[in-house]
Amino acid sequence: MKVYPDAKKALEGLESGMSVMSGGFGLCGNPEACIKALAESDIKDLTVISNNCGNAGKGLASLLQNRQVRKVICSFIGGNPDLAQQYLAGEIEVELNPQGTLAERIRAGGAGLGGFFTPTGVGTPVAEGKESREIDGRTYIFEKPLKADFAMVRAAVGDKFGNLRFYRTSRNFNPIMAMAARVTVAEVDKLVEVGELDPDDIHLPGLFVNRIFQAEHENPIEHRTVREA
Amino acid sequence: MSWSKAEQARRAGAELKDGDIVNLGIGLPTEVANYIPEGISVMFHSENGLLGMGPFPTEAELDPQIINAGKQTVTYVDGASMFDSSLSFAMIRGGHVDVAILGGLEVAQNGDLANWMIPGKMVTGMGGAMDLANGAKKTLVLQTHVSKHGESKLMQKLSLPPTALKCVNRVITELGVFDCKGDHFLCIELAPGVTREEATQHTHGDLRFASSVN
């Protein structure tokens, strides 16, 4: 059965030294309950794959503060003082990927592809050590797929088969990461019975999800920008 | 005399055409949304997965799960759509975004752009900048012409690690509007009160002037 009572149970089997994908863009659409459960565990030496690895001291930044992370594969460090500090001090390994390359490497990992050629990064430090090829007159570099032991994703609604429906810009990396891990754990605002979601409204088919549970989400705001009514 | 940041953003807004799909980078480029010329309608793309970005929300509209790529709370307009990061970058790399307006640290006269790192000093990561600079049909850069230390940021060759090569079409600085022409910059407009001599003095690359420029 895919339905689990909470994050701690749903993450069983996740051990020190493993790789973990974590959905979210900044603090939006984060698997908050899974991150909290990891932060409360003794698990360490993790390789974390995430666009930002937390921000403003929150989200995955809690794992950085606890020194549970050995390596981060991400696209952006700005706004994440914990990551910047440990990176500049040489205390953590950081592999920076262009955001579109990060997304496509994850998608390729989940889609069973051996990689892809992209024009992004040509002539930059990103291209160093990578195969380059001219295709129809344009230069591309080869990027390998990314996979992980676990993926922690968050959706608005999920059913007991694991079908997921996302909300607004909380979708971001969540559906592609769900495709690319050996064990995918989904936490949802609302867990419903199979059949309650219309097939046309399902954003991610349930075969990609191994474990699912319902959780409360704080949805922290990073930059609260408003205008006069 | 030269342009203020707001005037730079307004000048960038004047580059947009009706129906354009536009991606605005973090910082000053974001301000361009406030200066869309009258009678023109564009759709803003935000690479975290939103096409049809609207203005900042009122307190009543505020939703923590609707943000832009700068992680600011935003709204969406009629006709908007939301999608995952892979599809978002397929739009960008695939050439479906008409205009990217990005910030810059340096631009070279051949269109090379540097805006993601200063070795040993600044590390923010490239985020979506490398994909945008390569993929958008047209790349505009909004940046200062001269650094705090008085050094030109319009270069013959980049001194910083590149974001993308030969990608910038046009740079808008406080001094004017400059096109990257390969072996030179072509100034097509100067800010009010800025002279050709001043622009030349502050440009490290080879600078020429369109005949229409005073």
Shortest alpha-carbon distance between residue B105 and chain A (Å) = 15
Shortest alpha-carbon distance between residue B131 and chain A (Å) = 5
ipTM of this model? 0.97
| A39 close contact with B: CB closer than 8 A | no
Distance CA B16, CA B97 (A): 12
pLDDT per residue as tens digits for the range A150-170: 999 999 999 999 999 999 999
Indicate yes or no: CB of B65 within 8 angstroms of CB of A28.
Answer: yes
Q: Which residue, chain included where needed, has tokens 């003082």?
A: A81
For every residue of A10-74, which 3-state class applies, written as one string? Answer: HCCCCCCCCEEEECCECCECCCHHHHHHHHCCCCCCEEEECCCCCECCECCHHHHHCCCEEEEEE
Minimal Cβ distance to A98: which of B67, B88, B131:
B131
Distance CA A197, CA B23 (A): 33
Indicate yes or no: CB of A169 within 8 angstroms of CB of B73.
Answer: no
Q: Which residue, chain included where needed, has tokens 């992004």?
A: A120
Q: Which of A146, A103, A98 is nearest to A122 (CA)?
A: A98
Q: Which residues in chain B are contacts of A57 at CB distance < 8 A?
A: none
pLDDT at B36: 95
| A1 close contact with B: CB closer than 8 A | no
Minimal Cβ distance to B84: which of A28, A172, A225:
A172
| B96 close contact with A: CB closer than 8 A | no
pLDDT tier, A56 (very low <50, low <70, confident <90, very high otherwise) = confident
- Whether residue B42 is predicted with pLDDT greater than 80 in this model: the reply is yes
Query: What residues of B act catalytically?
Result: 47
Indicate yes or no: CB of B125 within 8 angstroms of CB of A224.
Answer: no
Indicate yes or no: CB of A168 within 8 angstroms of CB of B66.
Answer: yes
pLDDT at B121: 81
Within the 3-42 window of chain B, which residues sit less than 8 Å (CB to CB) from chain A?
none
Q: Which of A127, A179, A189, A199 is nearest to A158 (CA)?
A: A189
pLDDT at A42: 98
Of all residues in chain A, the one with the smallest CA distance to B89 is A100
- Alpha-carbon Rg for chain B in angstroms: 17
- Say what angle helices A99-111 and B85-93 make with each other, to 10 degrees: 120
pLDDT per residue as tens digits for the range A179-226: 999 999 999 999 999 999 999 999 999 999 999 999 999 999 999 999
Residue among A126, A154, A172, A188 with most chain B CBs within 10 A, to mutate = A172
